[in-house]
């Protein structure tokens, strides 16, 4: 009896694998067109697209109407997309799905009229969404990726909202005031422009090749990589890694409770507070103030354009400045040490309970203020 049950289970498993393999093989082939619907968008101010699984492709329509084409293996009306209108909103939702939906494939093609430039919402909980046309000059664009993958060309709107819970999102270029949130997964934007941006990640990895506009960056975990940020930046790092190459603006703020921040080629004023973690700024032309309760900060100055202020409760600061830079040193220590070196040789040191005012170079018009109750500050003229 036991052998019979084992054989039945084996036979069931083999039948299941053969069936799944056949369906998967069929899904890889072209699916037949089973449904076409056309919807006029006259009087519509919002288009909401929600699709749970399968593949969605967005293309431009040659008419003034929205056209929906669905491709699937089984021609069942209950599987067709539901298109409804409520007030000025047209909503497209998936039809019913069978119990074996986890290996069942379908494709929906949406043909969007170029005359529609109102509000658009795209929600994808699974599967893939791909735009083969640009979405430009909209009032608002709202994208919510639950899982799966979303690939978009160029976007522009007065307000752009993007949320990624999991999965992958790739955007060729985007414009407009934006809010972008990444909980997990991966987000890649080649170019993002606008007046105001807020980027937030609690996990996963976000990469933006070019960012233009004043930006708020919030990093709880994961990583943000930006290659070129033009505008003022307000950065808060709780954990993870923030890396910016090319930071240009007039005023930047930085706060770190943990994690690591790396900034290369920075211009403007930077004011930072570090309770833990590390900050590294290379090729820095500017001025600013930095407070450390713990952690480390390293600044490599290309040009000192104004005053620098350091306030240490603990930790370590290393400041490298060009040898020919003239400056005044205003240092007060309760504990710890402030040290100045030139070409590797020590030229001044302040330690213990001391106050020192000293000038370096001819006619200095900039001042480095150093206040430390503990920890060390090293200034290298090289």
Q: Over the chain (382 residues), what is each successive 10-residue block's mean pLDDT?
A: 49 43 46 94 94 86 93 88 95 75 71 95 86 95 89 94 90 95 91 95 92 94 93 92 94 90 95 91 96 91 96 91 93 88 81 86 94 90 86
Is the domain of 215 the same as that of 283?
yes
Is the domain of 258 the same as that of 114?
no
Helix (H, G, I), strand (E, B) or coil at 166: coil
* Helices and strands (DSSP H and E) totals, the chain: 1, 27
Q: Which pLDDT score, from 0 to 100, does residue 99 have?
A: 52
Inter-residue contact 363 to 327 (CB < 8 Å): no
Is the domain of 48 the same as that of 153?
no
Q: Which pLDDT score, from 0 to 100, does residue 335 have?
A: 83
Best CA proximity match to 66, nearest among 8, 7, 112, 128:
112
Is the domain of 8 the same as that of 81?
no
Is the domain of 165 the same as that of 211?
yes
Is the domain of 191 the same as that of 219?
yes
Q: Which pLDDT score, from 0 to 100, does residue 19 have?
A: 43
Is the domain of 216 the same as that of 288?
yes
| Token pair for 25 | 């093989």
| Domain that includes residue 24, residue range | 1-30
Is the domain of 144 the same as that of 278?
yes
pTM of the model: 0.83
Is the domain of 343 the same as that of 236?
yes
Tokens 């049950």 belong to residue? 5
| Token pair for 274 | 């570090």
Give, in order, the Cα–Cα distances in Å from 271 to each of 50, 253, 287, 307.
43, 5, 9, 12
Q: For the chain, how many structural domains are there in total?
A: 3
CA–CA gap between residue 118 and residue 141 (Å, rounded): 9
In sequence order, what DSSP letters do the residues of 198-243 get, joined into one string?
EEEESSSEEEEEEEEEEEEEEESSSEEEEEEEES-EEEEESSSEEE
Is the domain of 141 the same as that of 68?
no
């Amino acid at each position: 009896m036991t052998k019979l049950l084992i054989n039945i289970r084996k036979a069931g498993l083999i039948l299941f694998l053969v069936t799944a393999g056949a369906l998967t093989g069929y899904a890889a082939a072209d699916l037949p067109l089973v449904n076409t619907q056309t919807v006029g968008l006259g009087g519509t101010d919002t288009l909401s697209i929600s699709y749970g699984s399968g593949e969605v492709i967005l293309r431009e329509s040659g008419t003034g109407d929205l056209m929906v084409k669905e491709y699937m293996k089984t021609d069942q009306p209950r599987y067709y997309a539901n298109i409804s209108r409520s007030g000025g909103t047209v909503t497209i939702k998936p039809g019913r799905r069978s119990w074996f939906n986890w290996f069942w494939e379908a494709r929906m093609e949406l043909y969007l009229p170029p005359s529609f430039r109102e509000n658009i919402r795209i929600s994808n909980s699974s599967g893939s969404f791909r735009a083969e046309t640009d979405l430009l000059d909209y009032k608002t664009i709202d994208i919510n990726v639950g899982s799966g993958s979303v690939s978009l060309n160029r976007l522009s709107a007065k307000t752009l909202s993007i949320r990624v819970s999991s999965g992958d999102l790739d955007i060729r270029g985007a414009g407009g005031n934006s809010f972008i949130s990444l909980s997990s997964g991966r987000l890649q934007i080649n170019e993002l422009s606008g007046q105001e941006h807020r980027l937030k990640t609690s996990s996963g990895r976000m990469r933006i090749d070019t960012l233009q506009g004043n930006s708020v960056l919030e990093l709880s975990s994961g990583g943000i990589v930006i290659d070129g940020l033009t505008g003022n930046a307000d950065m808060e790092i709780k954990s993870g890694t923030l890396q910016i190459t090319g930071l240009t603006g007039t005023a930047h703020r930085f706060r770190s409770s943990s994690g690591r921040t790396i900034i290369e080629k920075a211009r403007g004023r930077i004011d930072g507070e570090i309770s833990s973690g590390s900050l590294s700024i290379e090729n820095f032309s500017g001025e600013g103030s930095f407070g450390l309760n713990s952690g480390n900060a390293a600044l490599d100055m290309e040009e000192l354009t104004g005053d620098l202020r350091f306030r240490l409760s603990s930790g370590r600061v290393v400041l490298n400045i060009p040898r020919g830079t003239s400056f005044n040193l205003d240092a007060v220590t309760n504990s710890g040490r402030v040290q100045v070196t030139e070409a590797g040789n020590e030229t001044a040191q302040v330690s213990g309970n001391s106050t020192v005012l000293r000038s370096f170079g001819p006619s200095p018009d900039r001042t480095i203020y150093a206040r430390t109750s503990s920890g060390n500050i090293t200034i290298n003229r090289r």
